[in-house]
Every structure is written in structure tokens, then in C-alpha cells.
Amino acid sequence: QVQLVESGGGSVQAGGSLRLSCAASGYTISNYCMGWFRQAPGKEREGVAAIYTGGGSTYYADSVKGRFTISHDNAENTLYLQMNSLKPEDTAMYYCAAVRSYCSGGFADLQEYEYNYWGQGTRVTVSS
């Protein structure tokens, strides 16, 4: 019933930009903590950014702070991740996640165990 579908991934050169989208169905995103995660080959899945869709704080991993921006459009029931100044180390599968809860506003929002709804992922490849 609840479904998250990511889109917007692709291949870009270092320094380029991508805008990822996460379209939600089966529920409205206005009362959810939602986040973006990524996983590169051979590495653990890591939290990238989180936001409470009802308003409030955002939280970013240090590795993307100043380059990535998480946002949402409740009317479109969609979560976004604007990625600028991309680096080769940003190459990964990117996943959208959600939980019907307030975000804590801190590190816990980037922990995958906090979320119970997940998308299938969209691939981002950044080349030198």
C-alpha cells in the first residue's frame, strides 16, 4: 500500500548536479520523517539527509553538508534531494525512506533502523 519510488539518478561528471525525487503513494508525506540514504559497493548504507515533512529542522551528513539540499513538496507528495558539486565518492545507489514520526533533528535521523518504508533506489554515478 505504501510505496516510495525514486527517480532522477544518472551519470554526471565531477562538479555537476543532479536532483533526485521520491514520489510517495498510499499515504501523504505531511506527517513523516523522511530521509535519503546511499550505499556504495562494499560499503555500509549511510544516511545522507533527513527532513520532517510537517516542517522543522533538517539534518545532513558531514560529507554532503553545503553541497546537498533536502526538501519536499507536500502538494506533490514528493521528497527531493538537490545534489550540487558532485564528487566521485558520491557514487552510490540512493534510497528514499520514511517513517510516520517526527524527526529527532539529529544523528538518529540518519540511521536506517529508524525507518520502515523504503524505495527501490536510483543509481548515481559521478565520474572524474
Q: How far apart are CA 89 and CA 63, in angstroms?
A: 10
What pLDDT is recorded for position 27? 79
Q: Give the single-character DSSP code of 56.
A: -
Question: 48-60: per-residue pLDDT in tens?
Answer: 999 999 887 899 9
**Contact status, residue 6 vs residue 79, Cβ threshold 8 Å:** no
**pLDDT (0 to 100) of residue 26:** 86
User: Residue 105's pLDDT is what?
Assistant: 83
- For the chain, the first-to-last Cα distance in angstroms comes to 40
Stretches in the chain below the pLDDT threshold 70:
none
